[in-house]
Amino acid sequence: MPEEITKPETVVTPPATEPSVKTYPEEYVKAVREEAKENRIARKAVEAKLKKLIGLKDDEDIDDAKISAYQTAQQTQLSAARQNANDKLLLAEIKGLEGYDPKLVARLLDKSKVTIADDGTVTGLKEAVEALATEFPQIKKVVAADGGANPPGANGALTPQQEYDEAYAAALKNPRDSLLRQKVFALKERLR
Tell me, yes or no, whether 33 lies in a domain.
no
pLDDT greater than 80 at residue 19: no
135 vs 13, which has greater pLDDT? 135
38 vs 134, which has greater pLDDT? 38
Residues 6+ apart with CB under 8 A from 57: 51
> Which 8-state DSSP code applies to residue 168?
H
Tell me, yes or no, whether 63 lies in a domain.
no
| Measured distance CA(109)–CA(136) in Å, rounded | 10
140: helix, strand or coil? strand
> Which 8-state DSSP code applies to residue 3?
P
pLDDT greater than 80 at residue 150: no
Tell me: do 99 and 132 sit in the same domain: yes
Structural domain harbouring 162: 158-191
Torsion sign (Cα): 84, 86, 90, 92: positive
Tell me: do 123 and 102 sit in the same domain: yes
Tell me, yes or no, whether 21 lies in a domain.
no
**pLDDT tens by residue, 91-106:** 999 888 888 888 888 8
Count of structural domains within the chain: 2
| Phi–psi pair at 115, nearest 5 degrees | -120, 145
Tell me: do 89 and 139 sit in the same domain: yes
CA-CA distances (angstroms) from residue 57 to 52, 54, 65? Answer: 7, 9, 15
Tell me: do 141 and 94 sit in the same domain: yes
What is the greatest pairwise CA distance in the chain?
150
Tell me, yes or no, whether 44 lies in a domain.
no
Tell me, yes or no, whether 183 lies in a domain.
yes
| Measured distance CA(183)–CA(163) in Å, rounded | 10
Half-sphere exposure of 99 (CA within 13 A, CB side): 5
Following CA atoms 99, 102, 105, 110 in sequence, which dihedral angle do they give, to the nearest 10 degrees?
A: 120
Q: Would the pTM of this model clear 0.95, i.e. be above it?
A: no
Tell me, yes or no, whether 170 lies in a domain.
yes
pLDDT greater than 60 at residue 185: yes
Tell me, yes or no, whether 58 lies in a domain.
no
Tell me: do 117 and 163 sit in the same domain: no
CA-CA distances (angstroms) from residue 187 to 87, 162, 167, 174? Answer: 41, 10, 8, 17
Tell me: do 88 and 141 sit in the same domain: yes
Tell me: do 114 and 139 sit in the same domain: yes
Average pLDDT over residues 98-127: 88
Rounded to 5 degrees, what angle do the CA atoms 49, 51, 57 make? Answer: 125
**pLDDT tens by residue, 51-77:** 888 888 888 888 888 888 889 999 999
Tell me, yes or no, whether 124 lies in a domain.
yes
